[in-house]
Structure 1
């Protein structure tokens, strides 16, 4: 059985490709975007619409960069929380051990 880290390293784990927002309005929003895009496609010339698509692509790239930064920051925060919890756990275990050994004297 491979570890999560091995799967991530070897490219078998791609959370960005399997993530699907669960917000109830997500699909509705997608349909609205598609409908408005089609309206603009019918209104604009081919060149103008191509420029609009370039704008959409740039916005998508910016959103992707923001999502990546948010993922990294969230992952670091989670890892730091685990470090904090585990370091306090050790302190707590040591304190409890000390209390028990003192009580046994």
Structure 2
């Protein structure tokens, strides 16, 4: 088994692919979404359903951006905490734990 650094180097470390898929609540919610979409598709025209799909695609894109930002912030925050623990210097840790959007 390769180390995390080796997996990162080889491009095999992709947290988005390790998301919670076995959680019963997650599975139930996805089933409800699929059923609601199927009901919606049956009750509307193809054009209306295509419009809904386009809207859902836009939502998925923004949701992915939010997940990326949240992951990045969490990673930086963790690095900041480790920096503070190992060095005892608060200023660097606070900068590492800040989202780039907030660094201005």
TM-score category, normalised to shorter length: 0.7 to 0.9
Deviation at 1:39, TM superposition (A): 0.5
> Secondary structure of 2:11's match?
coil
In structure 2, the partner of 1:27 is 27
In structure 2, the partner of 1:76 is 76
Deviation at 1:82, TM superposition (A): 0.3
In structure 2, the partner of 1:43 is 43
Say which one has the larger Rg.
Answer: 1
Deviation at 1:2, TM superposition (A): 4.3
Deviation at 1:4, TM superposition (A): 1.7
**Unaligned ranges ≥5, structure 2:** 89-104
In structure 2, the partner of 1:86 is 86
> Secondary structure of 2:12's match?
coil
Q: What RMSD, in angstroms, separates the aligned Cα atoms of the two structures?
A: 1.8
In structure 2, the partner of 1:94 is none
- In the superposition, the TM-score normalised over structure 1's length comes to 0.74
Distance in 2 of aligned mates of 1:44 and 1:87: 61
- Give 1 or 2: higher helix fraction: 1
> Secondary structure of 1:39's match?
helix
Distance in 2 of aligned mates of 1:2 and 1:22: 25
Distance in 1 of aligned mates of 2:28 and 2:3: 37
Deviation string for 1:18-42 (max 9, x for gaps)?
A: 2216655212111111110000100
Distance in 1 of aligned mates of 2:65 and 2:22: 21
**Unaligned ranges ≥5, structure 1:** 89-105
